[in-house]
Structure 1
Amino acid sequence: MADSTPLLSHYDESSEQKQKPRSLDDTIERCIGDFGWSQFLQAILVSLAWVFDAQQTFISVFTDAEPSWHCSDQSSSSSTICNSLSNICQLPKDSWSWDLPLETSIISEWGLECSSSFVTGLPASSFFMGCLIGGLVLATLADSTLGRKNMLFFSCLMMSLSSLLTVFSSNVWIYSALRFVNGFGRATIGTCALVLSTELVGKRWRGQVGVIGFFCFTLGFLSLPLLAYINRGSSWRNLYLWSSIPTILYCILVRFIVHESPRWLFVRGRKEEAVSTLKSMAAGQSILTMSFSNVPMEQESWNVDIYSTIKILLNKRWAFKRLAAVMVAGFGVGMVYYGMPLGLGNLSFNLYLSVAFNALSELPSSLITFFLIGKLSRKWSLVGFTILSGICSVLCVVVGRISPVLEMGLELVSFFSACSAFNIELIYTLELFPTCVRNSAISMVRQALVFGGVFSPVLVAAGRKNSFLSFGVFGVVIGLCGLPALGLPETKGETICDTLDEEEHKELEKKAAAAGSNNAAALLA
């Protein structure tokens, strides 16, 4: 809870010198406390952005799914032809019909059932391509000109308006273009929400507050099958309408209720706005004056421009090898993490239940990462989870025709493993790179994850005719992409460096120690 002492009331310079704060964090915490109700409510409100982010990420699981169909009542000869063929593209148009109205999916409404996998997978691929480009274009705006709050507002507004306009799509090409804009807008929502929510509280509570966003993402994922089930038999456009209007209302709340990060305001030199924000967050306390003139403004490690540091990562051989390994692993993990939910329509299981089960499987993954990360080997955990995910994904193809329940179970294990690998890889990347380039390295890994998602929809569309082209390829890719991590150093319990020189010096010490132990072993032999 916030400190009840008036915020720098009756300011005394000698007192300030005796208890001079060591950093901007300490000064802000002394003003508004470590964790108060105002900060808690602000963090909750900001984290709600993850709910709408998850809905737009996985909404195409239902809107772009191929509906079930049945043979029409005809003469016995035509009926025999229909029953003997499973590919509707080889049947006469009048010999079969959809089980639900045409408008329930873009596939049935626009007659895409016999189109190429490129066309049917284009909308979802366009969304992830928008995420990829949006992440590159908008990566530094939250740190530089717009700030956290404005970037979150802008991203949510672009995502919600493009989702609303999607309702009026007349063909797959317009629909794909709007999905691209939708992905472009939502590219920075997760990052902005995470950073803003954690910067509104004290250092001691940032880890716990950050987890709120992950649970909100799971909540948004879980809400999709409920919305789709209520909407079953109705137009796919209703899903976009129902998900866009609440997001627009949320944008209004962000604009008028959410506070900008006082930390960012101070770093940008906007001290008056920062003090005003702190006063509003500390409502109910006696505030007479605030002074931050003596606060040491240290250079922040997170305020690094990705475009100026990527050259360093590429020029340093050890840094390039690490970055390449984690990006390759990220590509495989992203393909399964984003592709598995999109491919649920290809399984012989209830679509609504399978999506709900996948969303629920993220909860134990987050809990395992949260509670056991201190005991887990980073390298072997990442490799192990990617291999397990790959094996189970390939087995889905093998047992799919034998037991739908077993197939669903294997898919859940595969998705759970991919989620766990996702979480561990981000933590592993944090520890592999020094502070001065850490933000850029994580940004590149996140881009690799999204890049894997770009290919997933096309593979899912191809998997409607041959399941190996979706789940089989997913399994092979993630299993192979995790192997380069075997060449990475283990970081569990290791000291995290701040500069490139420190990291290189630490590696030299390790090599020298290893060489010394080998020489000693040779002498003993």
Structure 2
Amino acid sequence: MGMKNFDDIFDHIGGFGLYQFGLFTVTCYINTLMSFTYFGQMFMSLTPPHWCSPPPEFTSANLTNEEIKKLTIPINENGEYHKCKRYDINFTEEFDLHKNIGNDTSWPTTTCDHGITYNFSLYYPTITSELNWVCDEDWKPSFAQSLFFVGSVFGCQIFGYMADKYGRLPAIVLSNTIGGIAGVASAFANSFIIFTILRFIVGMVFDSHLSIIYMLMLEYVSSEYRSVVANVPIMIFLTLGMVILPWMAIGLGDWRWLTVIIHFPHCICILLIWIIPESMRWNISKGNVDNAVKTLKAAAKVNKKTLSEDFIEDFKAYAISSKEGEKKVTILDLLKTPNLRKRFILLICMWLVIQLTYDGHMRNTENIGTNVFITFTMSGLIELPADLVTIFSMDWLGRRHTTVWSLVLSGVASLIISLFRPDQDMAILVTAMVGRFLITMAINVGMQYQCEVIPTVSRGQGTGAIHTLGFAFSFFSPYIVYLSKFKFWLPYFVMGLLSIAGGLACLGLPETLQESLPDTLEDGENAFAQQPCCYNPFNRKKSKDKTESNENGVDNAVYEDSHL
């Protein structure tokens, strides 16, 4: 019998064997690097506690730093020392007059004209403290991070096109190598312009260096393993990267060394060109049948499987017919037919919300709790159980229900935060972590969802476009977090509304659990078309199990022999 679809090969080479495990291992490695790249800039540009340096006459005064602060720095409306103002008086005259440590709130104030003093008792020198990106220049760290996302807007399209045009493997190697070089160069930046240009370049390759190998890995495993291999690298290795990153920063004690160490490992990925295979699906779509057959035989050999000559001929016939029936594909082809268009637009809406709210939750950890390093570590540790729950939820509830409910409930948790008082630190922290847990589930299933809905011929361009728009939307996440300067709950209120709206929109997506990945545009249009609006894959699995049980009863030898 001839091949009906690509996934038939897994009956002959194995759905997940040693060959696929090699890809899985590389994906785990790159997940760790992705964690460093994505969250590293936060620790490169942290703002240590700071205040205005005192006038020169205090250099010879026999006063402690706390006494000098009490004398020279006004108190703001929150009862804290002002970070960017000092009293503008003749301190020598006033100090000699009063002979005590205190101040007068009626004294005039001025800016930090004698420089900034930083407290490094908990923190360490960052580019923010080195270049004084505080007070009137406190917009620079957020702007640099926003340009990182702008770079991703361009990079996703460039490398997504490259993945479909020239292959998954060249795109993976090139994106990691460029990102590693630009990242290391960031450590030697000594101006805002140079730093932002280099972060723009790192942003260009940031998402592509993971999403393309993620896509390649999913193309090499059978449907029953997709949820596990898609989420375990994130669950363990991305979590590991997040947990150790803040303590690496503290241990190194310098943003430049941190920057070098978290980016250099990307350069090692140039070796992948000799380690991992090109996509068989991509080779077939490009008519490279001989290369696809060569990879098929290699996979079977490594997995200790034997391929019959009949199957190899069936595979060649399938590959040739797939190429002959396919035309040149662009991103616009995803918008030409009704089902693909609807799904593509909904996937975009889903990812816009997920990307913005996930990034917002992570950045706002600096504004909750009393220690950013501990809070960030707690937030990272939440990834592990969230990823584990995602795996079981996706295979039980399915992709659609997991996406919808994780987004909606994350939004509800975020809205609840607006009911708390600012001094209810523990309640705010716990509720924020619940929202963070649920949005982590959403981003895990969301990333896999795209690869399962978009057909092979446009998977690179389609996911690239989705991620492009997601990063364009993420440009606003630093500014949503900035709203906390007005009301502590405002960022969560905005993210809550967005999450609920995005979750409800995902009700229009199809269920892909235990479905074959679509290869052609025709597959993408017709796949999942028979699913009703309220389709529940769990009910289908129960029905299928019951049917198989009945069939097994009919074929049972006991019943066959009962007529004797």
User: Shorter-normalised TM-score: what interval?
Assistant: 0.7 to 0.9
Equivalent position SS for 2:161: coil
- Tell whether 2:266 aligns with 1:247: yes
Change over 3 Å in CA distance of 1:435–1:255 after alignment to 2:
closer
Partner of 1:256: 274
Instruction: Please give the alpha-carbon distance, in whole angstroms, between the structure 2 residues aligned to 1:205 and 1:381.
Output: 17
1:429–1:351 distance in 2 versus 1, CA, 3 Å: same
One-letter amino acid of the structure 1 residue matched with residue 267 of structure 2? I
1:94-133 matches, within 5 Å, as: 97-100=117-120, 104-115=125-136, 118-133=139-154
Aligned residue number for residue 188 of structure 2: 168
From the superposition, tell whether residues 437 and 159 of structure 1 become closer, same or farther in structure 2 (CA, over 3 Å): closer
- 2:74 corresponds in structure 1 to 81
Residue 224 of structure 2 contacts residue 514 of structure 2 at CA under 8 Å; is this kept in 1? no
How far apart in 2 are the matches of 1:262 and 1:154?
20
1:299 to 322, 325, 336: 322
Please state how far the C-alpha of 1:168 moved relative to its aligned partner.
1.2
1:369 to partner: Cα distance = 2.4
Which of residues 404, 407, 410 in structure 2 aligns to 1:386?
407
In the alignment, the residues of structure 2 paired with residue 190 and residue 100 of structure 1 have an alpha-carbon distance, to the nearest angstrom, of: 35
Q: What is the CA deviation profile of residues 401-431 of structure 1, one whole-angstrom value per residue up to 9, with x for unaligned ones?
A: 3232222211111111212233444566678
SS of the residue corresponding to residue 117 of structure 2 reads strand
Alpha-carbon spacing, 1:99–1:37, altered in 2? closer, same or farther (3 Å): same
Pairing 1:268–2:271 present: no
| Counterpart for residue 58 of structure 1 | 39
Q: Distance in 2 between matches of 1:365 and 1:262?
A: 32
* Secondary structure of 1:161's aligned partner: helix
Match of 2:385 among 351, 364, 367: 364
1:44 aligns with 2:25: yes
Trace 1:133-282 onto structure 2 (pairs within 5 A).
133-145=154-166, 147-201=167-221, 205-215=225-235, 216-231=237-252, 234-249=253-268, 251-270=269-288, 273-274=291-292, 277=295, 282=301
Deviation at 1:380, TM superposition (A): 6.0
Q: Which of 443, 457, 471 lines up with 1:450 in the alignment? A: 471
The alpha carbon displacement at 1:203 in A equals: 6.0
Distance in structure 2 (CA, Å) of the matches to 1:303 and 1:228: 50
Q: Indicate how the Cα distance of structure 1 residues 384 and 363 shifts in structure 2: closer, same or farther if over 3 A, else same.
A: same
* Whole-angstrom CA distance in 2 between matches of 1:68 and 1:275: 61
Query: Retained in 2: the 8 A contact 1:463–1:471?
Result: no
Structure 1 residue 501: Cα displacement? 6.8
Contact preservation (8 Å) 2:155, 2:203: yes
- 1:7 paired residue number: none
Q: What's the CA shift for 1:120?
A: 2.9
Counterparts of 2:254 and 2:206, CA distance in 1: 24
CA distance in 2, matches of 1:500, 1:269: 20
**TM superposition shift of 1:336:** 1.4
- 1:308 maps onto 2:332 in alignment: yes
Question: 1:142 offset after TM fit, Å?
Answer: 1.6
Q: CA deviation at 1:395?
A: 4.2
1:164 is displaced (CA, Å) by 0.6
Q: Take 2:227 and 2:398, find their aligned partners in 1: how far apart are those partners? A: 20
> Structure 1 residues 258 and 493, CA, compared in 2 at 3 Å: closer, same or farther?
closer
Alpha-carbon distance change, 389 to 284 in structure 1, aligned in 2, over 3 angstroms: closer
Measured at CA, do residues 419 and 288 of structure 1 come closer, stay the same or move farther in structure 2, by a change above 3 Å? closer
User: Gapped runs of 5+ residues in structure 2?
Assistant: 53-64, 87-110, 535-564
TM-score normalised by structure 2 residue count: 0.72
Change (3 A) 1:444 1:303: farther
Q: CA deviation at 1:283?
A: 6.1
Residue by residue, what CA displacement relative to the aligned partner does 1:152-173 show, whole Å, maximum 9, x if unpaired? 1111101111101101111222
- TM (normalized to structure 1)? 0.76
Q: Does 2:331 align with 1:350?
A: no
User: Paired residue for 1:338?
Assistant: 359
* One-letter amino acid of the structure 1 residue matched with residue 413 of structure 2: C
1:72-124 CA distances to partner (integer Å, 9 max, x unpaired)?
Answer: 44558725625855431233536972111897222222111113664331111
CA-CA distance at 1:21 after TM superposition: 6.0
Q: Does the 8 Å contact 1:133/1:184 carry over to 2?
A: yes
Residue ranges of structure 1 left out of the alignment (5+ in a row): 1-18, 512-525
- Summarize the Cα distance change of 1:246–1:177 in structure 2 as closer, same or farther, 3 Å threshold: same
RMSD (CA atoms): 4.2
For 1:206 and 1:322, the matched residues in 2 are separated by 20
C-alpha distance 113-371 of structure 1, shift in aligned 2 (>3 A) = same
Structure 1 residues 478, 21: CA separation in 2 closer, same or farther (over 3 Å shift)? closer
Amino acid at match of 1:190: L
Q: Distance in 1 between the 2:284 and 2:422 partners?
A: 61
Report if the CA contact (8 A) 1:222-1:359 is conserved: yes
What residue identity is the alignment partner of 2:197?
Answer: A
- Equivalent positions of 1:13-28 (< 5 A) are none
Amino acid at match of 1:197: M
Q: Distance in 2 between matches of 1:312 and 1:211?
A: 32
Q: 3-state DSSP class of the match of 2:378?
A: helix
Percent of residue pairs identical: 21
Bigger Rg, structure 1 or 2? 2
After superposition, the Cα gap between the structure-2 partners of 1:395 and 1:61, relative to the gap in structure 1 and judged at 3 Å, is farther
User: Would the aligned equivalents of 1:82 and 1:95 in 2 still touch at CA under 8 Å?
Assistant: no
Distance 1:259 1:425 in 2: 25
Question: Secondary structure at the residue paired with 1:66?
Answer: coil
Q: From the superposition, tell whether residues 302 and 174 of structure 1 become closer, same or farther in structure 2 (CA, over 3 Å).
A: farther
